[in-house]
Amino acid sequence: MTLLPVDAIRALADQHQKPANVLFQYGTAGFRTLGSALDPVMFRVGVLAALRSKKLDSKTIGVMVTASHNPEPDNGVKLVDPRGEMLEASWETHATNVANAPTTDALIDALETLVKNLKIDLSKPAKVVYARDTRPSGPALVASLEDGLKALGADARNAGVTTTPVLHYLVRAINTKGTKDSYGDDTEEGYLEKLSSAFKQLVAGKPALPPLVIDCANGVGAIVGQKLARHLGNSLELQLANTAIDTLGALNNACGADFVKTQQKLPPSLASVLTPGQRACSLDGDADRLIYFYLDDHGQFHMLDGDKIAALVAAFVVELTKSAGLEGKIQVGIVQTAYANGGSTKYLSERLPVKCVPTGVKHLHHAAEHYDIGVYFEANGHGTVLFSPETLETLSTYQPSTPAQSTALTHLRNLTNVINQTVGDGLSDMLLVEAVLAHKSYSGVEWNSLYVDLPNRLVKVVVPDRSIFKTEDAERRLVSPPGLQAKLDELVRRYEGGRSFVRPSGTEDVVRVYAEATVRSQADELAFRVAGLVYDEVGGDPAKRPS
Ligand code: G16
């Protein structure tokens, strides 16, 4: 019987000791906190990734080192399961336990318990692929991760500096290589080739759209975006902005998808770049989110967020299934979270089945898998479209009866390749949006007019302990602290079209407040009054009360 290589683990674990009085939590998107605190977590995640691979019969497991939309000093790490999806929920608990073992001895005990309880066959080889974003803390954290992989003797592949969605793609491509489910060549180049050739086929014969400005958030999207631009050639001209990946402090700073979505304004750096009517979009720090926007003729800013992307894409997919003669055979459904604008939920639910789930890609992804074609987007621009295995089979075997059906079928097939179905992907979603705009001859104005967004506001409240905030009903209601939801309901009733909810963030040390109302000033007022209630509840310093 093969045993855990305890001596190797001990020798290396001693170099990555966990400080006392720090608690780590595998949250919405893995472990995420200050990069300077993550060294012991990285080592342990390396060990855990190897064990997960052994448990899954030597399938390749992915590890991404990123803190995505968070500020530059933060970093994080998450594990990716063999089909490119988020880590199975039960292992999130194992990861939290292993990360919090206080000493090397306790760590070895925790690992031995895990191996025993989950009956992990240690004689199986472990295979892991990992990558990181451009954060300055990345290289040292990757070295700690590598020590963890080395301790277990894992066969590890370094995919270098790339986007989170590329890493997810690589995991699926590696694990399906040479099978009938092959997802593409298992390289970044293979990813770019797959997406760009599907895009070129989708827009063939359509007039080229004017150039698209991409705000790369001064992150890794700048590197992969530049390569994508070369692959696209003249099928789509990309103008990359905010590409300062080597400038300290620039990442996600006054730019990127999270800035645009939460501030509802143009990144200042784009003021001199964007011309009225020109389409632009923002990625976030690891390019897994996408928000579009444009300035109108009066210089006014208009945002097209994840909800608007879902509406645009879903309508197009439904139209193609009808044109292909597949109406009634393929059901399209939408998955949203509580952050979805009331305007979008109304518009979509009048046309398609819509489900609301808690924040976090894993929740949306699982819910979307229940549809033949599941369109899921968080309002923050995180999302994708999933085609069920049966739908993929239908699309590959279906015999169209007319040339029009044949054309629609070809478009649907190309959509399955332009879309990264493993996870939300800013660059892939961008190609998807651009393809739809080209087909519909839409500018941002026509797209924006699909429905009117209710004015809304997002506010962060810094609290000493966000874990006291607990929710139910897909995060739409608070169950703890007791009594707070009743106060919130009372307040919301006073605002026309008012809606508000409070939830703890899974990626930042804050509580988030969302509010919407029929009138802009009312939405703002409601958000700040709810934030004030939250702040009073936790006994915050009156001088720092949100206002
Ligand atoms: C991550 C998750 C998203 C989630 C976001 C914010 O995004 O993958 O599903 O919406 O965090 O989560 P929270 O409100 O709990 O902080 P990213 O882009 O940061 O990886």
Pairing, β 212-215 against β 127-132: unpaired
Residue 260 C-alpha to ligand 1 middle, in angstroms? 15
Closest-CA residue, ligand 1 atom 1, reads: 29
CA 160 to chain centre: 20
Residue 211 half-sphere exposure, CB side, CA atoms within 13 Å?
13
Other beta carbons within 10 angstroms of residue 330's beta carbon come to 23
Rounded Cα distance between 96 and 328, Å, is 45
- Is 503 annotated as belonging to a binding site? yes
Between CA 188 and CA 193 the distance in angstroms is 9
Question: Cα dihedral angle (529, 530, 534, 535), rounded to 10 degrees?
Answer: -20
pLDDT digits (tens, 9 = 90+) for 274-318: 999 999 999 999 999 999 999 999 999 999 999 999 999 999 999
> Which residue is it, tokens 């760009």?
196
Indicate which residue's Cα is closest to atom 2 of ligand 1.
360
CB 452 within 8 A of CB 343: yes
257 is in an annotated binding site: no
Q: What is the pLDDT of residue 321?
A: 98
Mutate to test the pocket of ligand 1, among 380, 470, 505, 511 (most ligand atoms within 8 A of CB): 380
> How far, in Å, from the CA of 378 to the mean position of ligand 1?
9
Ligand 1 atom with the shortest distance to the CA of 504: 15
- The stretches in the chain having pLDDT less than 50 are none
Per-residue b or e along 17-52, where b marks 16 or more CB atoms closer than 10 Å to that residue's CB: ebeeeeebbbbbbbbbbebebbbbbbbbbbbbbbbb
Task: Report CA(322)–ligand 1 centroid distance (Å).
Answer: 34
- Residue 201's pLDDT is 98
State how far the Cα of 231 lies from the Cα of 377, in Å rounded to an integer. Answer: 26
Residue ranges lining ligand 1, Cβ < 6 Å: 28-29, 68-69, 284, 288-289, 359-361, 378, 380, 382, 505-508, 512
Beta strands in 138-233 (DSSP E): 155-161, 212-215
Known catalytic residues are 68
Indicate which residue's Cα is closest to atom 6 of ligand 1: 507
Name all domains of the chain by residue range, CATH numbers in brackets.
6-161 (3.40.120.10), 189-303 (3.40.120.10), 306-424 (3.40.120), 456-544 (3.30.310.50)
Burial class (CB in 10 A: 0-12, 13-18, 19+), 297: exposed
State the closest ligand 1 atom to the C-alpha of 67, by its place in the atom list counted from 1: 19
How many alpha carbons fall within 13 Å on the CB side of residue 416? 21
- Residue 507 labeled ligand binder: yes
* ipTM for the assembly: 0.96
Per-residue three-class SS string for 297-319: CCCCEEEECHHHHHHHHHHHHHH
Distance 382 CA to ligand 1 centre (A): 8
Q: Quote the pLDDT of residue 1.
A: 79
Which atom from ligand 1 is nearest to the alpha carbon of 507? 16
**Calpha distance 173→189 (Å, rounded):** 12
68 is in an annotated binding site: yes
| CA gap 539, 274 in Å, rounded | 44
Cα separation, 129 vs 177, whole angstroms: 14
H or E, element range at 115: helix 104-117
What pLDDT is attached to residue 545?
Answer: 76
The region, left, alpha or beta by phi > 0 then psi within -120 to 50, assigned to residue 258 is alpha
By the 8 A CB rule, do 478 and 502 touch? Answer: yes
Calculate how far, in angstroms, residue 507's C-alpha sits from the geometric centre of ligand 1.
6
Which residue owns the Cα nearest ligand 1 atom 3? 360
pLDDT at 164: 98
Q: If we measure between CA atoms, which residue out of 277, 304, 306, 276 comes closest to residue 289? A: 306
Backbone angles phi, psi at 203, to 5 degrees: -100, 0
Residue 362: in which H helix or E strand, if any?
helix 361-368
